[in-house]
Structures are given as C-alpha cells and as structure tokens.
Amino acid sequence: MAVDRLSDDDIKARLPGLPEWSLRDGVLYRAFRFSDFSEAFGFMARVALEAERLDHHPEWQNVYNQVQISLTTHDAGGISDRDFELAQRIDALLP
Ligand SMILES: C[C@H](O)[C@H](O)[C@H]1CNC2=NC(N)=NC(=O)C2=N1
C-alpha cells in the first residue's frame, strides 16, 4: 500500500496533538518508564498486537523498566499518517 511521507509543515502542525511525543532525528519519539520489567514488557506486548492490527511497526528499545519508541514509515522514507495513528493508539494503551 502506498503511503505518503508528511511534509515538515504537516508534522509540525500535528505534533501538538501528541504532547508526549517529539521529533527526534527525523522520527516520532517517546520514552516511557514503568514500575518494573513486567509492566514494561506487558505494555510492549499490547503495542505489538496493535502494531499487527495496523500493519505498522515501531522501532524500540527496552532496558528493564524503560521503553523508548521511535516511529517512522520505512515505505515512505519519513513520517506518515500511520506513525501518528500508531502513536495515538500507543498512548491509549497506557494504564
Ligand atoms: C508489507 C507491509 O505492509 C509493510 O512492510 C509495512 C509493515 N510495517 C511497517 N512499519 C513501519 N514502521 N513502516 C513501514 O513502512 C511498514 N511497512
């Protein structure tokens, strides 16, 4: 499926809708901290299921109770609507 990369202006206009996310090195980025590994990994499992539903997948790193997520659209060579959609769904999964 063809996906369009958003322009810098589009991205700037949409970022306020995701106050916890920032633009970092050309990707949508958010860091999460949980009480322990189990909580962090449970969250990652829920994100993985959502990513499969959307057929759009995060780049992420986990260190014990911390999860860092970067969103970009490989097929578009930049940030697309799909990244904003996944970011919103990720936020909705938080306890
Ligand atoms: C074929 C399939 O739709 C694509 O490869 C999807 C899968 N998940 C994806 N995830 C992300 N982040 N970017 C993509 O371009 C992408 N493409």
Look up residue 92 and give its two tokens: 């909705």
Centroid of ligand 1 to alpha carbon of 58 (angstroms)? 9
8-92 maps to CATH 3.30.1280.10: no
Per-residue pLDDT of 54-78, as tens digits, reads 999 999 999 999 999 999 999 999 9
Residue 66 near residue 32 (C-beta atoms within 8 A): yes
Per-residue pLDDT of 30-45, as tens digits, reads 999 999 999 999 999 9
Where are the chain's structural domains? 8-92
Q: Pocket of ligand 1, candidates 55, 71, 79, 80: which has the most ligand atoms within 8 Å of its Cβ, to mutate?
A: 55
Distance CA 59, CA 70 (A): 5
Centroid of ligand 1 to alpha carbon of 87 (angstroms)? 15
pTM of the model: 0.96
How many residues appear in the chain? Answer: 95
Distance CA 5, CA 39 (A): 33
